[in-house]
Amino acid sequence: MSSTAFGRRVAQLWSPALALLPLRAFLGITFVYAGLSKILDPHYLDDASPLGVHAQMLHAASTSPIGALVSTSADYSTVTGLAIAFGEVAVGLGALLGLFTRVAALGGIMLALSFFLTVSWTTRPYYYGADLGFAFAWTPLLIAGDGGVFSVTTRLRAAVRRRLDLTLDEGATGQDEVERRTLLRAGLISAAVAAVGVAAGSALALARRPRNASHPPAATPGAATVIAAAADVAVGSSKSFTAPNGTPAYLLHPAADTFMAFNAACTHQGCPVSYTGPGFRCPCHGSTFDQNGQVTGGPANAPLKKVPVKVVNGQVTIT
């Protein structure tokens, strides 16, 4: 093939929508990955874990401009958590497959903005947080759609047109019928995949949740709040718990006669730290703390807040 013919061939195949393919692939894979990671994470639906969606929502509610809404949603953290995870998978698949691409883009924008208003709201300067960038990254797909490139909707439309034996020049009535049938088919396929996926995914996520997952103990005025039986926390181990005020925290048992507890909120910007033994690590910007809660690596520069505990009749209680 001569270079001129090759150039003509490339020009025939070129479509402006091809320019959006890398963005579609990146957003699609990232959102599917993010959603599946949540569904497969045993801590995600554990209300007692500082890494769970319940603890993260309670923390975000204290700083978010939509705190009241987040706080109410935290009362239904299992449903909210599953909706977030399946929403991410759905918009990711929509972008990858070219199925309701504009709807998927709108969903992606709404998810990213809700993350920006909650988990990323305290990030300074604002452009260090990824969620605002994700919200804007979805906008080209909302405006332009998939342009018919690698698009299940376009293939369905072509199949409908063949079935009706229509050409591209058919009148408005014929085109309307094609669109109606395409929408119906795409909707049925999406609904069937969503029903099976949500049922299987919810069962998997709930099965992976620790059996003792529960809401934090209710505080009875005047009564000590029991965190755990001392014998249940082996020397050298830790236990995550949610304090009666809803704050995620960790109980440590570093030596035979010593129990310590710390608020799990990182003193940098409040992300929940995780206990990595024998210290803590913050997943947001990498701060580390030793098992006494003291900073061993920034950017945090203040120790973790201590929760006073003591052992009473074999029970570790908050004093």
CA neighbor of 102 nearest in space, from 49, 141, 46, 153: 141
Hunting for tokens 């405006």 — which residue is that? 143
For the chain, strand residue ranges (E) read 225-229, 238-242, 248-255, 258-263, 274-275, 280-281, 288-289, 295-297, 306-307, 309-312, 315-318
> Which CB sits closer to ligand FES, 35 or 272?
272
> Which CB sits closer to ligand FES, 24 or 268?
268
Which amino acid is located at 97 in the chain? Answer: L
What's phi and psi for 224, nearest 5 deg? -70, 145
Q: In what order do the strands lie in the sheet with 309-312?
A: 225-229, 315-318, 309-312
> Which CB sits closer to ligand FES, 49 or 269?
269
Residue 273 beta carbon to ligand FES: minimum distance, rounded to whole angstroms: 7
- For residue 148 the two structure tokens come to 């018919």
> Which CB sits closer to ligand FES, 49 or 274?
274
Residue 59 beta carbon to ligand FES: minimum distance, rounded to whole angstroms: 11
How far, in Å, CA of 247 to CA of 228, rounded? 16
Residue 315 beta carbon to ligand FES: minimum distance, rounded to whole angstroms: 31
> Which CB sits closer to ligand FES, 241 or 280?
280
> Which CB sits closer to ligand FES, 187 or 283?
283
Question: In the complex, which residues of this chain contact ligand FES (CB under 6 A)?
Answer: 266, 268-271, 282, 284-287, 299-300
CA neighbor of 289 nearest in space, from 271, 304, 306, 272: 304
